[in-house]
Structures are given as structure tokens and as C-alpha cells.
């Protein structure tokens, strides 16, 4: 299902509704893929939603290419403040310039990470992964179509 018309404001409105209900929510998985999230407002909307879903175990924000540089702060918040074990940031416009704090990826909770379809990451953007992988608890890592090629990718 595609929710292109949901956009930043729709996700923020959903987060506001969760806050208004004031009781705990038992959602364990939420998929915000293809919602046209973008920029600072998109980041704020995702973070607002996370504040009201303490039991969340899986978060997908794939196919929101406008998030790009705002993925790093979302990732940091998720790994420092939640128990989420599965994250999907596929096709979010992440480039080699986006610095994902690899020390944070050592979260004991994170077992699945999807970064597929971020073609601009390339070998330089993923350099730190090779040295950090043995220290991570990841069981699944999807780097398909991340611009890795030939010797530079390995």
C-alpha cells in the first residue's frame, strides 16, 4: 500500500492522536514506507510517533527519499531510546555524506537493518560497517543496491 498523500502532516497528526489518547499503546510494528516523509518535518513526525509507542519492535520508513540526511538522528533516537530490533531505511536517499554513528549500531536490541536502495551510499559510506560488524548483534543486514561495486565494495 502506498500512502504518498499522508506526508509529514499526516504522520504528525497520527502521532498527536496517539498522545491525546494518553494510555499505553501495544503496537509492536509500524510501517511508514511510501508516506512522502521529508526533511526536518518528516524527522520530527517520526520521532513524535516513536514517543507514544513504547512497545514498538519494528519500524520501517523505507521509500521516503526526502528523509536523506535526517535518517541519522532518527537512527540515533531509536537505538538510544527504544527497544526496536528491526529497522528499515531502504530507499531513503541516504548518501555517503550522511554519517551514521556506527558505535550506536552496537545496540544489543538491533538484529535487523535494511539500508537497501540507497544507491548513493557507495563503498565510502559503508566503510565503517566492515570493522563494526563483528561487534554488532545484527542477524540480517540488507545492503542491496547501495552502490557497492568491484574491489571498492569489499
* Banded pLDDT at 59 (limits 50, 70, 90): very high
Nearest to 90 by CA among 59, 60, 69, 62: 62
| pLDDT cut 90: percent of the chain above it | 47
For the chain, give the mean pLDDT.
85
List of residues 6+ apart from 143 with CB closer than 8 A:
115, 116, 126, 129
Q: What is the tens place of the pLDDT at every residue in 34-44?
A: 999 999 999 99
For residue 15, the Cα-to-chain-centroid distance in whole angstroms is: 17
Q: Report the SS3 class of residue 111.
A: coil
Q: Which of 70, 29, 79 is nearest to 49 (CA)?
A: 29
In this prediction, residue 23 carries a pLDDT of: 66
Amino acid at each position: 500500500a502506498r500512502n504518498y498523500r499522508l506526508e509529514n502532516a499526516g504522520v504528525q497528526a497520527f502521532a498527536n492522536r496517539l498522545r491525546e489518547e494518553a494510555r499505553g499503546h501495544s503496537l509492536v510494528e509500524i510501517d511508514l514506507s511510501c508516506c512522502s516523509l521529508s526533511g526536518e518535518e518528516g524527522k520530527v513526525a517520526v520521532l513524535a510517533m516513536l514517543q507514544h509507542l513504547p512497545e514498538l519492535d519494528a519500524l520501517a520508513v523505507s521509500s521516503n527519499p526526502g528523509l536523506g540526511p535526517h535518517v541519522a538522528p532518527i537512527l540515533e533516537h531509536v537505538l538510544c531510546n527504544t527497544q526496536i530490533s528491526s529497522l528499515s531505511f531502504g530507499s531513503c536517499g541516504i548518501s555517503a555524506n550522511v554519517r551514521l554513528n556506527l558505535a550506536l549500531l552496537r545496540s544489543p536490541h538491533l538484529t535487523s537493518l535494511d539500508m537497501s536502495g540507497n544507491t548513493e551510499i557507495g563503498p565510502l559510506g559503508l566503510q565503517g560497517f566492515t570493522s563494526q560488524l563483528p561487534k554488532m548483534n545484527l542477524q540480517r543486514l540488507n545492503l542491496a543496491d547501495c552502490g557497492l561495486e568491484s574491489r571498492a565494495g569489499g
